[in-house]
Amino acid sequence: MSASQNTITALLSGTDQPGLVAKMSGWIFERGGNIIHADQHRDMEAEIFFQRIEWTPAEPQDDFQAEVDAFQEFTSGLNMKVDCKLSSKKSRVAVFVSRYDHCLHELILGQRSGELSCEIDCVISNHPDMAEAAEQYGVPFIHVSVTPDTKNQAEKQQLEILKDRNIDVVVMARYMQILSPEFLQAFGKPVINIHHSFLPAFAGGKPYHQAHQRGVKLIGATAHYATAVLDDGPIIQQDVERVSHRHTVEDLVVRGRMLERRVLAQALRWHLENRVLVYGRKTVVFD
């Protein structure tokens, strides 16, 4: 495939039935398309079929959206849910951050290197600390102060910013505020959070302190979609590192930050590439 060629990536899910793989590939073949990648999974207990399929429509193709619309109509006849993404359309990302900068740097450098196919449109923070870092990268920085008394107003301001800037995805890069259920519902688009523990263990505040108190032998980081329930959203990616009784809380924090930046960047990359399919409280990740 030429680097300049556009592709369509579809994520599908629905009740399993015979011949689904053949029907999907047959539809693309009959229209002269070329399949670049295809993968599928079947939940044996729930009898649900999942598939990720990426293809290049027949050339010349001036209107890829017409191909997407036709495919969605075809799959609806099979009672399949489908989410399609064009490779030519880069998601607009807003990064929410507080005072820790390690994840912010990882995301911006990943975007600059081409590892993260997106446009990091702005950095939004409840503290002014990251203004200089954002300025050095040439990314607009927006300070929205948040206090217990002003939280509702602050979230309304954040929502207005996201709407005005046409943001597709919010990434909480160690943003040390809880986004309210009302915010998540009003935004209505994916919010990816990094939690500094191996969920569901040590949810909530100070997980490294909790881990140290329990004398764990593994620490972890978890990237997940934010939901109304704190640290309970569908998990996208996790990783761990072995520790021992010799490590202090400060040691855990330093080691954990390496995990956090790597896990969050990988989760965002999979999301941007339309590899994450959410169902219920779980995800299928076509990695």
Question: What pTM did the predictor assign?
Answer: 0.92
pLDDT at 2: 45
Instruction: Give me the long-range contacts of 207-215 (CB less than 8 A, separation at least 24).
Output: 208/249, 208/252, 208/253, 208/256, 209/249, 211/252, 212/247, 212/248, 212/249, 212/252, 215/245
How far is 210 from 221, CA to CA, in rounded Å? Answer: 14
Instruction: Give me the long-range contacts of 226-233 (CB less than 8 A, separation at least 24).
Output: 226/172, 226/179, 226/184, 226/191, 226/192, 226/193, 227/184, 228/181, 228/184, 228/185, 230/178, 230/203, 230/204, 231/193, 231/195, 231/199, 231/200, 231/203, 231/204, 232/200, 232/203, 232/281, 233/193, 233/281
Catalytic machinery residues: 231
pLDDT at 60: 62
Write phi, then psi, for 15 (nearest 5 degrees).
-60, 130
Domains in the chain, CATH or no CATH each: 8-86 (3.30.70.260), 91-285 (3.40.50.170)
Structure tokens, 94: 């807003």
pLDDT along the chain (287 residues), means of 10: 73 94 95 95 92 89 82 94 93 97 97 96 97 96 96 97 98 95 97 87 80 86 93 93 87 87 97 95 93
∠ CA(232), CA(286), CA(277), 5° rounding? Answer: 45
pLDDT at 176: 92
